[in-house]
Structure 1
Amino acid sequence: MLKKIALSIVGVLAVLIVWQWELVSYGLMQARGQLRILWNTEPVTEVLADPAYPDSLKRKIELIQEIKRFAIDSLGLDKSGSYESFYDQQGKPILWVITAAEPYQLVGKQWNFPIIGTFSYKGFFEKDWADTTVAELKRAGLDTRMNEVSAWSTLGFLNDPILSSFLDRPEGSLAELIIHELTHGTLFVKNNLEYNENLADFVGEYGAQRFLTQKYGKTSVPYQNYMSTKAFYDRHDDHILRGTRTLDSLYRTFKPATPVVVKDSLKWNMIRQIVESADTIRNEQSQSLVRSIKKRRLSKLNLPNNAYFIGYLTYRKQQNRFREEFDTKFGRNFKRYLTYLKQTYPSL
């Protein structure tokens, strides 16, 4: 009897693997990548005690630990075992993320994963696999975008390490990054990626400002540099989101009979206008930022497509919602606001 049950279970598993082979193979690839990283991490305590590591690196690691304590003690984020180990990337990229969208609609491709739900992007630890996936998506007629990712969260399922790429960031950017990822481990709503990423962005930015104020003061260089850069990117976000709405309005004028050549001409002219008109948001402090952004995006090969705009909506569309709710309904009491969010939106 037990033998029959065992054979039945094996048979069912075999059918599931064949039926969902793409998902299974992807999961195995991701598991290999994650385990490779975890296997090659060093405990932070050992890194800090090792004379082979420079003091500048150790100071950044100590700063990350301080940011983490602040996020838990002062913001009320969940306790976490993350950022207690260190992984040296040796200057190499570690993860690539793909986004895809319809060519004449701001509709992103969705990928479904067990437990964590639906995502509008897909990550790869292996560049060759990411390239193959991009090629397949392009053959299907979709706009695509692939970019390297400097950090990610395993949503509390694993203890995420400090990556060596973190250490190149200035204090404010580093605080925002760590608090963003710890927010994912505190509250992550299944099948609502836009909500999750917008919330983590909001908490990361708010938390970074509070951390810098507490540690350095509002007149300090780290605080002033962070706020100046943030002010530029807030204006840039508003500009891109306005452009996204304009682009969406254009696509809604397209008819089934509209020739593809006409659609393409109108689409790319509109996108180029959005990028070129970024000049309107610059000031003396942000001229170099504008130039670097435009240099990347005005290249014929790098002109942003719908996948880029979908990515922007995923991370930035709901920022004003969180800010207004936090200010007006909760009097800027963050712990009370976080308690409300956790009670209202059940997490994984």
Structure 2
Amino acid sequence: MLKKIGLVIVGVLVILIVWQWELVSYGWMQAKGQLHILWNTQPVADVLANPAYPDSLKKKIELIREIKRFALDSLGLDQSGSYESFYDQQGKPILWVVTAAQPYQLIARQWHFPILGTFSYKGFFEKDRADSTVADLKREGLDTRTGEVSAWSTLGFLDDPILSSFLDRPEGSLAELIIHELTHGTLFVKNSLEYNENLADFVGEYGALRFLAQKYGKTSVQYQNYLATKAFYERYDEHILRGTRMLDSLYKSFKPATPVVVKDSLKWKTIRQIVDSSDTLTDQRSKASTRSVKKRQPAKLNLPNNAYFIGYLTYRKQQNRFRQEFEKQFGGDFKKYLTYLKQTYPSL
């Protein structure tokens, strides 16, 4: 009897694997990549005690620990075992994210994952697999974009390590990154990627400003550079969001009979106009800050496509919503606001 039950279970598993081979294969690749990282991490205490590591690296790691304590104690984010270990990337990218969009609509390609829900991007620990997916998407006629990922969150399911690439960031950018990812581990709503990313961006920026003010003071170089960086990117974000509205209006003006050559000509003319006009944005950041912070602007010789603009809708569209809600309804009391969010939106 047990043998028959076992055979039935094996048969069902085989059917599921054949039926969902792409999902199973992708899940196995992601699991291997994550396990490889976790297997090769070192406890932070060991890194700090190792004389082979330079003091500059150790200071950044200590800063990350301080940022985490601030996020948990002062902001009220959930307790986490993340950022207590260190992974040396040896100068290599660690993860690639693929996004795709319709060529004449600002509609993202969606991927569905069990438990986690729907995402408008797909991550890969293997570059060849990412490139293969991009090739398939292009054959479908979609606009695509592949980006290297500087950090990610396992949403509290695993303890995320400090990546060596973190340590190149200036203090404000580093604080924003750590608080952003810890926010995902505190509140992540299924099938609401735009909400999740916009919230984490808002909390990351708000938390970074508070941390810098507390540690260095509001007149410090660290605080002022981050403030200038934030102001510049807010102008750039609004510029790109205006661009998405221009593109959306253009695409909605297309008729079924509009020739593809005409659609393409108008599309790329508009995108070039958006990119070229970004030169008018003022930038008050110091030269050291602009060198340290990776620019979001696309190269003019390699014009962005709809997948680039979809990214801004995903990450930045709702910033004013969170800011206004936080200030008007909760009087700037962040812990009360966070409690409200956690009670209102069920998290994974």
Using the size of structure 2 for normalisation, the TM-score is 0.97
**Alpha carbons 1:100, 1:144 under 8 Å: kept:** yes
User: Who is 1:271 aligned against?
Assistant: 271
User: Who is 1:220 aligned against?
Assistant: 220
**Post-superposition offset of 1:337:** 0.2
**Post-superposition offset of 1:2:** 2.0
**Alpha carbons 1:110, 1:118 under 8 Å: kept:** yes
Name the aligned partner's letter for residue 271 of structure 2: I
Count residues with an aligned counterpart: 345
**Distance across 2 between alignment mates of 1:236 and 1:294:** 9
**Distance across 1 between alignment mates of 2:100 and 2:158:** 28
Pair 246,152 (structure 1): closer, same or farther in 2 beyond 3 Å: same
Name the aligned partner's letter for residue 297 of structure 1: A
User: Who is 1:343 aligned against?
Assistant: 343
**Alpha carbons 2:68, 2:178 under 8 Å: kept:** yes
**Distance across 1 between alignment mates of 2:73 and 2:184:** 17
1:125 paired with 2:91, answer: no
Name the aligned partner's letter for residue 68 of structure 1: K
User: Who is 1:100 aligned against?
Assistant: 100
**Alpha carbons 1:194, 1:314 under 8 Å: kept:** yes
Q: Write out aligned runs for 1:267-346 (5 A).
A: 267-283=267-283, 285=285, 296-299=298-301, 302-346=302-346
**Distance across 2 between alignment mates of 1:342 and 1:199:** 12
User: Who is 2:262 aligned against?
Assistant: 262
**Post-superposition offset of 1:307:** 0.2
**Distance across 2 between alignment mates of 1:62 and 1:286:** 25
The one-character-per-residue Cα deviations of 1:283-304 (angstroms, maximum 9, x if unpaired) are 45489969x96984311xx211
- Provide the secondary structure at the position in 1 that maps to 2:195: helix
1:144 paired with 2:127, answer: no
**Distance across 2 between alignment mates of 1:136 and 1:286:** 42
**Distance across 2 between alignment mates of 1:175 and 1:18:** 44
**Distance across 2 between alignment mates of 1:296 and 1:203:** 26
**Alpha carbons 1:232, 1:286 under 8 Å: kept:** no
Pair 51,283 (structure 1): closer, same or farther in 2 beyond 3 Å: closer
**Distance across 2 between alignment mates of 1:289 and 1:272:** 23
Q: Write out aligned runs for 1:191-206 (5 A).
A: 191-206=191-206
User: Who is 2:16 aligned against?
Assistant: 16
**Distance across 1 between alignment mates of 2:107 and 2:150:** 26
**Distance across 2 between alignment mates of 1:12 and 1:295:** 49
**Distance across 2 between alignment mates of 1:20 and 1:185:** 28
- Which consecutive unaligned segments of at least 5 residues does structure 1 have? none
Pair 45,283 (structure 1): closer, same or farther in 2 beyond 3 Å: closer
**Alpha carbons 2:183, 2:203 under 8 Å: kept:** yes
The one-character-per-residue Cα deviations of 1:119-162 (angstroms, maximum 9, x if unpaired) are 00000000011111101100110000001011000000000000
**Alpha carbons 2:119, 2:193 under 8 Å: kept:** yes
**Alpha carbons 2:225, 2:285 under 8 Å: kept:** no
TM-align CA RMSD: 1.6
Name the aligned partner's letter for residue 232 of structure 2: F
Pair 296,312 (structure 1): closer, same or farther in 2 beyond 3 Å: closer
**Distance across 2 between alignment mates of 1:15 and 1:294:** 45
Name the aligned partner's letter for residue 52 of structure 2: A
Name the aligned partner's letter for residue 194 of structure 1: E
- Which consecutive unaligned segments of at least 5 residues does structure 2 have? none
User: Who is 2:210 aligned against?
Assistant: 210
Moved more, 2-11 or 238-247: 2-11
User: Who is 1:232 aligned against?
Assistant: 232
- Provide the secondary structure at the position in 1 that maps to 2:340: helix
User: Who is 1:185 aligned against?
Assistant: 185
The one-character-per-residue Cα deviations of 1:302-345 (angstroms, maximum 9, x if unpaired) are 21100000011100000000000000000000000000000110
- Provide the secondary structure at the position in 1 that maps to 2:123: strand
**Alpha carbons 1:43, 1:84 under 8 Å: kept:** yes
**Distance across 2 between alignment mates of 1:84 and 1:157:** 15
- Provide the secondary structure at the position in 2 that maps to 1:118: strand
Using the size of structure 1 for normalisation, the TM-score is 0.97
**Alpha carbons 1:235, 1:281 under 8 Å: kept:** yes
- Provide the secondary structure at the position in 1 that maps to 2:103: coil
**Distance across 2 between alignment mates of 1:249 and 1:158:** 43
The one-character-per-residue Cα deviations of 1:104-125 (angstroms, maximum 9, x if unpaired) are 0000000000110000000000
Pair 295,113 (structure 1): closer, same or farther in 2 beyond 3 Å: closer
1:114 paired with 2:114, answer: yes
**Distance across 2 between alignment mates of 1:347 and 1:285:** 37
Q: What is the identity percentage for the equivalent residue pairs of Structure 1 and Structure 2?
A: 80
**Distance across 2 between alignment mates of 1:325 and 1:161:** 32
